[in-house]
Structure 1
Amino acid sequence: MERRLDIDKPLWSQDTFLGRWKHFAFITDPRLCILREQELDKAKQLLEQYRKGLEPPNTKLEDVIRAKKIYESAFHPDSGEKQNVFGRMSFQMPGGCLITGAMLQWYRTVPAVIFWQWVNQSFNAFVNYTNRNAQSPITTTQMGIAYLSATSSAIAVVFGSKRFLEKRAGPLLQRYVPFLAVAAANCVNIPLMRQTEITKGLEVEDEQGKKLCHSKLAAVKGISQVVLSRIVMCAPGMTILPVIMEKLETYPWFKRMQKLHAPFQITAVGCFLTIMVPTACALFPQTASIKTSTLMRWEPDQYEILVKNCEGSNIPEKVYFNKGL
């Protein structure tokens, strides 16, 4: 008899970095972002049937694994809603390599850098909204403020860095202006796009999934981890590639091939992101935790609610929440 999967849990242990890396490499496969809507819906339907034990008679285990891969790449883990393709993590490699490659290629003039930072922050804002914790809704006004703030911060860093470095640093350091802008904007974009989580707190639950209370500390922890992950995701491509380009441009044969510089950088960034998207996502567990003793000390009102919701049973040492991506 063929074994049955627990389709609501990852295929690999999430207690180790390697297990998390395999899981995220599984669901961020860029090939998944070109699947048709019918394939996504079919995968969701098969999982729903499998969960009830009502799948078609000839269903194989690999069919269920394939459906699980498709579903988890395209549907939000909290709400179960189908995500827009441009906001999915499986689109990070193709979308990110095009935009990052362009930022690294056209960095010499302020207007070009500002334009590509605007494109990048528009993309990031959409990704951040798509992968937020869906239990904390955000209004159109809040989204607009987050978008404008992140874009403005990126442009401010670009303008300030260009003015400061153009007379004080060589060409190599000036190539790092896009990375400085991206890192700074991530520190603004993600917290603002998920500000409701910080102001109202995230729902935290015990190991059985019982909701116990809300925690602002959990939101801060989760968002901080996501910010760091996003910076790590783009760091290798935006810090190593400038060194490679600076060296290659010393060769006359490479200088003559100006039209190939942009495709080369876009392809190189794509190679970096293929590895770094699952790596960055795997830095921290998707289901994060926070100690109840921390809640007792810093959020006593929520701790009281937690105690009441435990209804006389033992208070767990930790509570859990989805940190988002």
Structure 2
Amino acid sequence: MKPTSNSKMQSKMTASLTMFNIDAPRWDQSTFMGRLKHFFNITDPRTLLVSEHELDRAKALVQSCRAGMVPPGTSQEQLFYAKKLYDSAFHPDSGEKMNLIGRMSFQVPGGMAITGFMLQFYRTVPAVVFWQWVNQSFNAIVNYTNRNAASPISVKQIGIAYVTATSTALATAVGLNLYTKRAPSLVARWVPFAAVAAANCVNIPLMRQQELINGITVTDENDNRLGESRRAAVKGITQVVISRVTMAAPGMILLPIIMEKLEKYPFMKKIQVLHAPLQIILVGGFLVFMVPFACALFPQRSSIALSHLEPDLRVSVVAQHGDKVPHVYFNKGL
């Protein structure tokens, strides 16, 4: 029996999918818009509702595609969706499933709740202390989950990073809160952002201190390992700090201005119990756009010029490859 035209077409589609590079970015990652589309895709909060079983199936499909063994009948859209789920839930270095709270897709629901409460309960010291502690605990989980997995960190180092960042946030928040007692109320509303920004500058470098001490793996354009670089680690961590502060800035700077205006209206004075839920919803509106925007500021696969590396590593690369490697590449983390 001769194969039908449909079966021939199916065979051609299956053959083409076996050659499909599932790890190739769907959108051009060298452009900001390409990265923005990518992070809108993988930070989609709806992926949090996907069952563990479906996540495991997505990982299996991604691994099958990498091995060139795509199951018959699989469409390209199914592969794209599997990769979306894989990227949202599994670490890019280790391939291990990340805890739900630490995933970037949890940044919107988790961040909106915590930030909303920080912005609402900023007047009393006990409230400031409690919500800054909650926020730094959340940040510590996110930073640990999204670290460069090639640089292990001990429980002691995690504890030091957590305590130091929390102390920094509390000292900043409580100190500024007391300092701004006589300042305009809007200035006091901006104190939580100052605390969050200061803590991020401490928390992220400390949580990823092993990268600063031992360096992170750098590769050539074809992912061939070249060595470990501390300067690459500094660049990657700096970019992550900038991204995290940018992520929080619009909501924590603009929302206090909005609430300051709204709370002057009589109807808002009558529904004070709804102020916190309102701020949570508004923060969520900011974060839906700011999480992917901030993640897209810098390429995930970052690069650094060979001339900017440590002298010993630079000499080693030149000795092995001559002038064929003008830039090296590394995963900056999130």
Question: TM-score under structure 2 normalisation?
Answer: 0.93
Can you give the 5+ residue segments of structure 1 that lack an aligned partner in the other structure? none
The aligned runs of 1:71-220 (5 Å cut-off) are: 71-167=86-182, 169-220=183-234
String of CA shifts for 1:71-128, please: whole Å, max 9, x gaps: 0000000111110010000000000000000100111101101100000000001000
Match of 1:8, SS?
A: coil
- Measure, in 2, the Cα distance between the counterparts of 1:71 and 1:308: 38
> CA distance change for structure 1 residues 309 and 211 in 2, over 3 Å: closer, same or farther?
farther
- Measure, in 2, the Cα distance between the counterparts of 1:14 and 1:22: 9
CA-CA distance at 1:55 after TM superposition: 2.2
CA-CA distance at 1:159 after TM superposition: 1.4
- Measure, in 2, the Cα distance between the counterparts of 1:248 and 1:32: 34
Can you give the 5+ residue segments of structure 2 that lack an aligned partner in the other structure? 1-11
CA-CA distance at 1:53 after TM superposition: 2.7
String of CA shifts for 1:223-282, please: whole Å, max 9, x gaps: 000000000001111011001100011001011001211110000000100000000000
- Measure, in 2, the Cα distance between the counterparts of 1:162 and 1:47: 50
Select 1:51's aligned residue among 63, 66, 70: 66
In structure 2, give the amino acid aligned to 1:113: V
Match of 1:250, SS?
A: coil
CA-CA distance at 1:316 after TM superposition: 0.6
Q: Does structure 2 retain, via aligned residues, the 8 Å contact 1:212–1:309?
A: no
Quote the residue 2:278 is aligned against. 264
Quote the residue 2:332 is aligned against. 323
* 1:276 and 2:290 correspond: yes
String of CA shifts for 1:159-217, please: whole Å, max 9, x gaps: 110121112x1111100010000000000000000000001011100011000011111
The aligned runs of 1:295-310 (5 Å cut-off) are: 295=309, 299-310=310-321
Match of 1:83, SS?
A: coil
* 1:288 and 2:302 correspond: yes
- Measure, in 2, the Cα distance between the counterparts of 1:78 and 1:304: 27
- Measure, in 1, the Cα distance between the counterparts of 2:302 and 2:81: 26
- Measure, in 1, the Cα distance between the counterparts of 2:317 and 2:149: 21
Question: TM-score under structure 1 normalisation?
Answer: 0.96
CA-CA distance at 1:308 after TM superposition: 4.3
Identity %, equivalent residues: 60
* 1:39 and 2:54 correspond: yes
Aligned residue pairs total 319
- Measure, in 2, the Cα distance between the counterparts of 1:276 and 1:125: 20
Match of 2:94, SS?
A: coil
- Measure, in 2, the Cα distance between the counterparts of 1:170 and 1:108: 13
- Measure, in 1, the Cα distance between the counterparts of 2:164 and 2:49: 32
- Measure, in 2, the Cα distance between the counterparts of 1:126 and 1:189: 11
- Measure, in 2, the Cα distance between the counterparts of 1:253 and 1:293: 62
Q: Does structure 2 retain, via aligned residues, the 8 Å contact 1:292–1:319?
A: yes
Runs of 4+ aligned residues of structure 1 deviating over 6 Å after TM superposition are none
Match of 1:306, SS?
A: helix
* 1:30 and 2:41 correspond: no
CA-CA distance at 1:36 after TM superposition: 1.1
* 1:231 and 2:252 correspond: no
- Measure, in 2, the Cα distance between the counterparts of 1:188 and 1:315: 37
- Measure, in 2, the Cα distance between the counterparts of 1:53 and 1:186: 42
Question: Alpha carbon RMSD of aligned pairs, Å?
Answer: 1.1
In structure 2, give the amino acid aligned to 1:96: G
- Measure, in 1, the Cα distance between the counterparts of 2:176 and 2:296: 31
Q: Which moved more, 1:89-98 or 1:50-59?
A: 50-59
- Measure, in 1, the Cα distance between the counterparts of 2:231 and 2:151: 14
